[in-house]
Chain A
Amino acid sequence: NAGVTQTPKFRVLKTGQSMTLLCAQDMNHEYMYWYRQDPGMGLRLIHYSVGEGTTAKGEVPDGYNVSRLKKQNFLLGLESAAPSQTSVYFCASSRTNPYEQYFGPGTRLTVT
Protein backbone atom coordinates (compact mmCIF):
# COMPACT_ATOMS: atom_id res chain seq x y z
CA ASN A 1 0.00 0.00 0.00
CA ALA A 2 1.22 3.48 -0.87
CA GLY A 3 -0.89 5.05 1.91
CA VAL A 4 -1.55 8.73 1.24
CA THR A 5 0.18 10.34 -1.72
CA GLN A 6 0.25 13.99 -2.77
CA THR A 7 0.98 15.52 -6.15
CA PRO A 8 3.03 17.65 -6.75
CA LYS A 9 5.71 17.80 -4.04
CA PHE A 10 6.81 21.34 -4.86
CA ARG A 11 5.28 24.18 -6.87
CA VAL A 12 5.97 27.84 -7.48
CA LEU A 13 3.09 30.01 -8.68
CA LYS A 14 2.78 33.65 -9.63
CA THR A 15 0.06 35.72 -7.99
CA GLY A 16 -3.25 35.17 -9.76
CA GLN A 17 -2.39 31.76 -11.23
CA SER A 18 -4.48 28.71 -10.44
CA MET A 19 -3.57 25.16 -9.58
CA THR A 20 -4.94 21.91 -8.22
CA LEU A 21 -3.32 19.72 -5.58
CA LEU A 22 -4.17 16.04 -5.74
CA CYS A 23 -4.42 13.73 -2.77
CA ALA A 24 -4.93 9.99 -3.21
CA GLN A 25 -5.33 7.23 -0.62
CA ASP A 26 -5.50 3.48 -1.17
CA MET A 27 -6.81 2.48 2.29
CA ASN A 28 -10.53 2.81 1.49
CA HIS A 29 -10.84 5.57 4.08
CA GLU A 30 -14.06 7.54 4.36
CA TYR A 31 -12.66 10.76 5.82
CA MET A 32 -10.16 13.04 4.06
CA TYR A 33 -8.67 16.38 5.08
CA TRP A 34 -6.62 19.24 3.71
CA TYR A 35 -4.42 21.23 6.13
CA ARG A 36 -1.94 24.00 5.76
CA GLN A 37 1.12 24.27 8.02
CA ASP A 38 2.74 27.60 8.71
CA PRO A 39 5.56 28.37 11.18
CA GLY A 40 4.25 29.00 14.68
CA MET A 41 0.65 28.26 13.70
CA GLY A 42 0.55 24.49 13.69
CA LEU A 43 -1.87 22.75 11.34
CA ARG A 44 -5.01 24.54 10.28
CA LEU A 45 -7.85 22.69 8.61
CA ILE A 46 -8.87 24.08 5.21
CA HIS A 47 -11.63 21.69 4.06
CA TYR A 48 -12.58 18.12 4.79
CA SER A 49 -14.81 15.33 3.54
CA VAL A 50 -16.64 12.60 5.44
CA GLY A 51 -17.39 10.51 2.36
CA GLU A 52 -17.50 10.43 -1.42
CA GLY A 53 -19.38 13.41 -2.80
CA THR A 54 -19.28 15.38 0.47
CA THR A 55 -17.20 18.39 1.48
CA ALA A 56 -17.22 20.79 4.42
CA LYS A 57 -15.37 23.94 5.42
CA GLY A 58 -12.67 23.91 8.02
CA GLU A 59 -10.99 26.72 9.89
CA VAL A 60 -9.41 28.59 6.93
CA PRO A 61 -11.44 27.82 3.77
CA ASP A 62 -11.29 31.20 2.01
CA GLY A 63 -9.46 31.14 -1.33
CA TYR A 64 -9.68 27.35 -1.66
CA ASN A 65 -12.14 24.90 -3.18
CA VAL A 66 -12.27 21.12 -2.94
CA SER A 67 -13.91 18.18 -4.62
CA ARG A 68 -14.32 14.50 -3.70
CA LEU A 69 -15.78 12.86 -6.79
CA LYS A 70 -14.11 9.53 -6.05
CA LYS A 71 -13.67 8.03 -2.59
CA GLN A 72 -9.91 7.67 -2.99
CA ASN A 73 -9.20 11.20 -4.24
CA PHE A 74 -9.53 14.63 -2.65
CA LEU A 75 -8.59 17.66 -4.75
CA LEU A 76 -7.67 21.09 -3.41
CA GLY A 77 -7.94 24.01 -5.82
CA LEU A 78 -6.58 27.53 -5.70
CA GLU A 79 -8.44 29.66 -8.25
CA SER A 80 -6.33 32.81 -7.92
CA ALA A 81 -3.20 32.29 -5.85
CA ALA A 82 -2.04 34.94 -3.38
CA PRO A 83 1.29 35.26 -1.51
CA SER A 84 -0.61 34.55 1.74
CA GLN A 85 -1.20 31.04 0.42
CA THR A 86 2.51 30.26 0.50
CA SER A 87 2.61 27.26 2.84
CA VAL A 88 3.12 23.53 3.18
CA TYR A 89 -0.09 21.65 2.42
CA PHE A 90 -0.85 18.27 3.95
CA CYS A 91 -3.56 15.83 3.05
CA ALA A 92 -4.74 13.23 5.54
CA SER A 93 -7.27 10.42 5.63
CA SER A 94 -8.93 8.34 8.32
CA ARG A 95 -11.20 5.31 8.32
CA THR A 96 -14.52 6.15 9.99
CA ASN A 97 -13.69 8.84 12.51
CA PRO A 98 -11.11 11.64 12.66
CA TYR A 99 -8.91 10.13 15.36
CA GLU A 100 -6.16 8.20 13.63
CA GLN A 101 -5.32 10.27 10.59
CA TYR A 102 -2.73 9.14 8.05
CA PHE A 103 -0.81 12.00 6.50
CA GLY A 104 0.75 12.45 3.10
CA PRO A 105 4.30 13.80 2.67
CA GLY A 106 3.16 17.35 1.94
CA THR A 107 3.28 19.86 -0.93
CA ARG A 108 5.44 22.95 -0.56
CA LEU A 109 3.78 25.83 -2.41
CA THR A 110 5.37 29.22 -2.96
CA VAL A 111 3.35 32.10 -4.42
CA THR A 112 5.40 35.04 -5.67
Chain B
Amino acid sequence: AQSVTQLDSQVPVFEEAPVELRCNYSSSVSVYLFWYVQYPNQGLQLLLKYLSGSTLVESINGFEAEFNKSQTSFHLRKPSVHISDTAEYFCAVSGSTDKLIFGTGTRLQVFP
Protein backbone atom coordinates (compact mmCIF):
# COMPACT_ATOMS: atom_id res chain seq x y z
CA ALA B 1 0.00 0.00 0.00
CA GLN B 2 1.09 3.55 -0.63
CA SER B 3 1.17 6.29 1.96
CA VAL B 4 2.36 9.86 2.35
CA THR B 5 3.68 11.55 5.48
CA GLN B 6 3.93 15.30 5.84
CA LEU B 7 5.97 15.81 8.95
CA ASP B 8 4.97 19.40 9.72
CA SER B 9 1.35 20.43 10.18
CA GLN B 10 2.26 24.13 10.32
CA VAL B 11 5.28 26.11 9.15
CA PRO B 12 5.49 29.79 10.14
CA VAL B 13 8.05 31.90 8.28
CA PHE B 14 8.82 35.56 7.67
CA GLU B 15 8.50 37.08 4.23
CA GLU B 16 11.60 36.70 2.02
CA ALA B 17 12.95 33.82 4.13
CA PRO B 18 13.55 30.37 2.63
CA VAL B 19 11.17 27.52 3.39
CA GLU B 20 11.12 23.72 3.12
CA LEU B 21 7.97 21.62 3.44
CA ARG B 22 8.79 17.98 4.02
CA CYS B 23 7.14 14.98 2.39
CA ASN B 24 8.03 11.30 2.69
CA TYR B 25 6.26 8.46 0.95
CA SER B 26 6.15 4.69 1.03
CA SER B 27 5.39 2.50 -1.92
CA SER B 28 6.33 -0.92 -3.24
CA VAL B 29 6.06 0.20 -6.86
CA SER B 30 7.40 3.06 -8.92
CA VAL B 31 5.67 6.27 -7.96
CA TYR B 32 4.59 9.55 -9.37
CA LEU B 33 4.71 12.47 -6.91
CA PHE B 34 2.82 15.72 -6.68
CA TRP B 35 2.42 18.88 -4.67
CA TYR B 36 -0.96 20.58 -4.59
CA VAL B 37 -1.74 24.00 -3.04
CA GLN B 38 -4.99 25.13 -1.45
CA TYR B 39 -5.54 28.86 -0.94
CA PRO B 40 -8.12 29.89 1.70
CA ASN B 41 -11.70 28.90 0.84
CA GLN B 42 -10.70 27.33 -2.48
CA GLY B 43 -10.18 23.88 -3.95
CA LEU B 44 -6.74 22.38 -4.55
CA GLN B 45 -4.55 23.28 -7.52
CA LEU B 46 -1.62 21.31 -8.91
CA LEU B 47 1.66 23.08 -8.06
CA LEU B 48 4.21 20.67 -9.55
CA LYS B 49 4.70 17.02 -10.40
CA TYR B 50 7.37 14.37 -10.85
CA LEU B 51 6.56 11.66 -13.39
CA SER B 52 9.98 10.74 -14.78
CA GLY B 53 13.25 12.28 -15.97
CA SER B 54 14.96 15.03 -14.00
CA THR B 55 14.51 14.57 -10.27
CA LEU B 56 14.31 18.35 -9.74
CA VAL B 57 11.00 19.87 -10.80
CA GLU B 58 9.92 23.51 -10.65
CA SER B 59 6.70 25.49 -10.57
CA ILE B 60 6.00 28.77 -12.33
CA ASN B 61 5.95 30.73 -9.05
CA GLY B 62 9.41 29.76 -7.76
CA PHE B 63 8.77 26.54 -5.83
CA GLU B 64 10.86 23.45 -6.53
CA ALA B 65 10.84 19.86 -5.31
CA GLU B 66 13.41 17.10 -5.60
CA PHE B 67 12.59 13.41 -5.90
CA ASN B 68 14.99 11.42 -3.72
CA LYS B 69 14.42 7.71 -4.24
CA SER B 70 16.93 6.53 -1.64
CA GLN B 71 15.33 8.67 1.08
CA THR B 72 11.79 8.24 -0.30
CA SER B 73 11.28 11.99 -0.08
CA PHE B 74 9.83 14.77 -2.21
CA HIS B 75 10.45 17.94 -0.20
CA LEU B 76 9.12 21.29 -1.44
CA ARG B 77 11.38 24.34 -1.25
CA LYS B 78 11.32 28.03 -2.05
CA PRO B 79 14.35 30.31 -1.54
CA SER B 80 12.30 33.43 -0.72
CA VAL B 81 8.62 33.31 0.21
CA HIS B 82 5.99 35.99 -0.30
CA ILE B 83 2.87 36.83 1.70
CA SER B 84 0.81 35.43 -1.17
CA ASP B 85 2.35 31.97 -0.63
CA THR B 86 0.29 31.61 2.55
CA ALA B 87 -1.77 28.48 1.90
CA GLU B 88 -2.05 24.79 2.72
CA TYR B 89 0.21 22.47 0.76
CA PHE B 90 -0.53 18.82 0.12
CA CYS B 91 1.91 16.16 -1.05
CA ALA B 92 0.39 13.27 -3.02
CA VAL B 93 1.56 9.97 -4.48
CA SER B 94 0.21 7.76 -7.23
CA GLY B 95 1.48 4.35 -8.29
CA SER B 96 -0.33 1.70 -10.24
CA THR B 97 -3.83 2.72 -9.20
CA ASP B 98 -6.45 5.13 -10.51
CA LYS B 99 -6.19 7.50 -7.59
CA LEU B 100 -3.95 9.83 -5.63
CA ILE B 101 -3.09 9.36 -1.98
CA PHE B 102 -2.82 12.72 -0.22
CA GLY B 103 -0.85 13.64 2.87
CA THR B 104 -2.48 15.46 5.77
CA GLY B 105 -1.23 18.86 4.60
CA THR B 106 1.16 21.56 5.82
CA ARG B 107 -0.14 25.03 6.54
CA LEU B 108 2.43 27.63 5.44
CA GLN B 109 1.92 30.97 7.18
CA VAL B 110 4.06 33.84 5.87
CA PHE B 111 4.41 36.85 8.17
CA PRO B 112 5.44 40.37 7.08
A-side residues, CB < 8 A to B, are: 4, 31, 33, 40-45, 48, 50, 56, 58, 90, 92, 97-101, 103-106
Give the size range of B's interface with the partner. 20 to 34
A-B contacts, 29 listed (Cβ < 8 Å): A4-B43, A31-B98, A33-B99, A40-B104, A42-B6, A42-B103, A42-B105, A43-B90, A44-B102, A56-B98, A58-B99, A90-B43, A92-B43, A97-B98, A98-B97, A98-B98, A98-B99, A99-B49, A99-B51, A100-B46, A100-B49, A101-B100, A103-B43, A103-B44, A103-B45, A105-B42, A106-B41, A106-B42, A106-B43
Q: Is B32 an interface residue (CB 8 A)?
A: yes
Give a binary string over B62-84; 1 marks a CB under 8 Å from any A CB, 0 the rest. Answer: 00000000000000000000000
Taking the closest CB of chain A, its distance from the CB of B3, in whole angstroms, is: 11
Taking the closest CB of chain B, its distance from the CB of A106, in whole angstroms, is: 6
B-side residues, CB < 8 A to A, are: 6, 9, 32, 34, 41-46, 49, 51, 90, 94, 97-100, 102-105
Residues of B contacting A105 in the complex (Cβ-Cβ under 8 angstroms): 41-43
Given A40-B9, A106-B43, is A98 in contact with B104 using a C-beta cutoff of 8 Å?
Answer: no
Best-surrounded residue of A31, A58, A98 (most CB of chain B within 10 A): A98
Report the Cα distance A81→B103, complex, angstroms. Answer: 27
Residues of B contacting A33 in the complex (Cβ-Cβ under 8 angstroms): 99
A42 interface neighbour in B49, B51, B98, B102, Cβ under 8 Å:
B102
Task: Flag if B99 contacts A41 (CB, 8 Å).
Answer: no
Given A40-B9, A42-B90, A99-B51, is A48 in contact with B44 using a C-beta cutoff of 8 Å?
Answer: no
